[in-house]
């Protein structure tokens, strides 16, 4: 089904979401094959604002002149102090090295990972220290552009759905309600999430590849 057909499906299934989409900017699919780079960016952006993540990513890239690409061997060769000077926490510095090591071992092969089920993909990535379910979902949504991923645990999605549907629940009750609402969006929950993120005010945590 085409991108426009997906928007029509979401709009017909959920008029509130349809109105949000109509008022937003068009979001086109932009998958890319560099899962390693996408995974590094996802780790950098964890639990901080979009603006802060962009600044730290820029400083991180500056460690790899002239083109700014963090080749795995170069990442592994950096000291913790060098990574922390770029604005990374000690914990995140360790996570980036773990990702680089995983890639060096050939475990981030695009063709293989795109053939996995959602659950198998998540299990494969969460074997990397520091990579959780949220990070795996962000890669599925943005690096792979898989159409039907929903991240009920994402703070941005929660805030946008609270606003759009006037939800008052919190915690597990909120996530359960979100999952029920999102059932109507299948099989295009990824696109719905992207429009929800877009609806948020600037500065709210949004995945860096939006």
Catalytically active residues, by annotation: 154
| Cis ω for the linkage preceding 66 (within 30 of 0) | yes
Question: Which residues have C-beta within 8 Å of that of residue 111, sequence separation ≥ 6?
Answer: none
Please answer whether residues 21 and 11 qualify as being in contact, where contact means their C-beta atoms are separated by less than 8 angstroms. Answer: yes
- 3-class DSSP state of 10: helix
Please state whether 146 falls in left (phi above 0), alpha (psi between -120 and 50) or beta: beta
């Amino acid at each position: 089904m085409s991108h426009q057909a997906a928007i029509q499906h979401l709009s017909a299934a959920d008029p509130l979401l349809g109105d949000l989409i109509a008022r937003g900017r068009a979001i086109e699919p932009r998958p890319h094959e560099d899962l390693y780079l996408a995974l590094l960016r996802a780790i950098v952006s964890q639990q901080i604002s979009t603006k802060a993540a962009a600044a730290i990513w820029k400083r991180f890239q500056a460690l790899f002149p002239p083109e700014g690409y963090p080749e795995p061997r170069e990442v592994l060769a950096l000291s913790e102090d060098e990574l922390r000077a770029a604005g990374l926490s000690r914990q995140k510095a360790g996570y980036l090295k773990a990702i680089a090591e995983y890639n060096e071992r050939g475990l981030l092969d695009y063709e293989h990972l795109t053939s996995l089920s959602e659950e198998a993909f998540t299990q494969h990535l969460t074997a990397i220290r520091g990579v959780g379910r949220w990070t795996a979902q962000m890669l599925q949504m943005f690096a792979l552009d898989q159409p039907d991923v929903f991240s009920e645990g994402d703070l941005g999605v929660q805030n946008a759905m609270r606003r759009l549907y006037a939800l008052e629940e919190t915690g597990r009750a909120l996530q359960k309600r979100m999952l029920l609402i999102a059932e109507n969006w299948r099989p295009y929950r990824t696109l719905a999430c992207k429009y929800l993120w877009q609806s948020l005010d600037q500065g709210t945590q949004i995945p860096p590849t939006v």
